[in-house]
Amino acid sequence: MTFLFSLVRKSLANRLLATSLTLASIALSVALLLGIENIRAGMRQSFSNTISRTDLIVGARGGSLQLLLYSVFGIGSPTNNVSWATYERFRDHPAIAWTIPISLGDSHRGFRVVGTDSSFYEHYHYGGGRSIEFAEGGMPRTAREVVLGDQVARELGYTIGSDVVITHGLYGTGIMDHDEQPFRVVGILARTFTPVDRSLYVTLQGIDEMHEGFMAAPGVGSVPNFAAPAAGEASAGADEDGGPPDQITAFFVGATTRIATLQLQREINTYEGEPIMAILPGVALAEMWRGIGYAEDALLVVTLFVVAVGLIGMLLSLYSSLEARRREMAILRAVGAGAPRIFALLVLESGLLGFAGVVAGLALIYALLALLKGFVETTFGLYLPIQPPTGMAWAYLGAVIIASFVIGIVPAVKAYRNSLADGLAVRV
């Protein structure tokens, strides 16, 4: 066996260019396969880590996935609002430990603005139970202060003390800026790799006062029709001294016990005071992954085809090289190497090429992850975990190695059938 391995090594070294190209093809295919698998894992982890320890999300009645997307991920628009009276009723419910109200409806240069209160900084968790932390400053104390997510601060170059002008509407273009009501940055949140990084946080009173000033601007003869807020936007407060708003967009709930969660969900969903609904974040996330699972599967299928093309390329390389190696094979037969050993030689060559390609692909993808991790996370906000391959990834790699040995059987059978005289005959 040692002799056979030595022979394989010398044979591959003798065809260095062809061996290197074949190895590179397998390595790139494996790196792409592992890269896609890593991105899939990173996406799932990023989405799953966005919110934790929240038992229910309550909003206007509609689709559960829609409620999850606009309240947690900042995707899409709410269909309606929840009255403050209804929020207070459930906030004071004996089975509810804490609540986080949120009001949407404004933005700043493409980033959403969230109206909330101190409970957000106390009770919002992500990443399996991690709390919101401040990189600089602290939470807003007045209606004219704002806290920035990490990505907002970095991309827009804001620091503590900067002035921020909010734009009316979730996807405002700057034609309805609340420039008469600027906010001062008092805090910047630590990076979370969640939508929290891409949001600005103000108080509920700040949202109210901003829209009150916009609706009752002095000297305006024809007031814009903002008296009836768009769906999902908090309306102006009932009084002018910083009282509670009339409506909010949604609120997060932490129940006192796990058993109380399902009872609360049923009570909220059957509440007759107004059409609202409560969803379980974990269940809604699972529904979302089922919806986009087809895209993931399609991406994986494309990657597997790339790996298959790399293996076929190795087969073609080995098979086409046989014509140039017929004399080599015949000489090996003449010096005592039997047909079974020739067969084993070619199968082992193919298998070792596949194994070396897998090792090179592993090294390549982890080198790329180490180099590009910071860039991808900073530019795209996508968390890329550097962790050992998953069980599924190991299964893929094992399949590639086994396929390499199997592919080697094709040229091995051809070499096995070639006669000794055929290889030693002088061709003219």
Q: What is the pLDDT of residue 334?
A: 64
CB 339 within 8 A of CB 416: yes
d(CA 268, CA 266): 6
Q: How many CB atoms sit inside 10 A of residue 360's CB? A: 17
CB 145 within 8 A of CB 184: yes
293-348 pLDDT per residue, tens: 677 778 778 878 888 888 888 888 777 766 666 666 666 666 666 667 777 777 88
Residues 40-56, mean pLDDT to the nearest whole number? 83
Give 113's pLDDT tier (boundaries 50, 70, 90): very high
127-184 pLDDT per residue, tens: 888 999 999 999 999 999 999 999 999 999 999 999 999 887 765 554 566 666 789 9
266-296 pLDDT per residue, tens: 999 999 999 999 999 988 888 887 777 677 7
d(CA 167, CA 362): 47
Q: What is the mean pLDDT of the chain?
A: 81
**Where is pLDDT greater, at 145 or 39?**
145
d(CA 254, CA 257): 9
**Length of the chain (residues):** 428
CB 205 within 8 A of CB 237: yes
CA angle, corner 81, sides to 211 and 125, nearest 5?
95
Residues 178-193, mean pLDDT to the nearest whole number? 87
Q: How many CB atoms sit inside 10 A of residue 149's CB? A: 25
- Can you spell out the DSSP letters for 262-279? HHHHHHHHT-SSS-EEEE
CB 316 within 8 A of CB 93: no
Q: What is the pTM for the complete model shown?
A: 0.72
Residues 362-376, mean pLDDT to the nearest whole number? 87
Q: Map out the domains of the chain as residue ranges.
A: 2-47+293-424, 56-279
Residues contacting residue 290 through CB under 8 Å, at least 6 positions apart: none
Look at residue 58 and tell me whether its pLDDT is greater than 80.
Answer: yes
Residues 374-397, mean pLDDT to the nearest whole number? 77
CB 68 within 8 A of CB 285: yes
Sign of the C-alpha dihedral, residues 336, 339, 343, 346?
positive
Give 99's pLDDT tier (boundaries 50, 70, 90): very high
Residue 178's SS3 state is coil
Identity at 102, one-letter amino acid code = I
Look at residue 237 and tell me whether its pLDDT is greater than 70.
Answer: no
Helix 16-48 to helix 2-14 angle (10° resolution) is: 100
Residue reference for tokens 């916009």: 214
Q: Which residues pair with 102 in a beta bridge?
A: 250
Going by the DSSP 8-state scheme, the letter that residue 62 receives in this structure is S
Look at residue 238 and tell me whether its pLDDT is greater than 60.
Answer: no
d(CA 68, CA 87): 18
d(CA 166, CA 178): 6
Instruction: Compute and round to an integer the Cα radius of gyration of the chain.
Output: 32
CB 99 within 8 A of CB 252: yes
Percent of the chain's residues with pLDDT above 90: 37
Residue 401's SS3 state is helix
Cα-based distances in Å from 291 to 48, 333, 392: 15, 59, 21
Going by the DSSP 8-state scheme, the letter that residue 134 receives in this structure is E
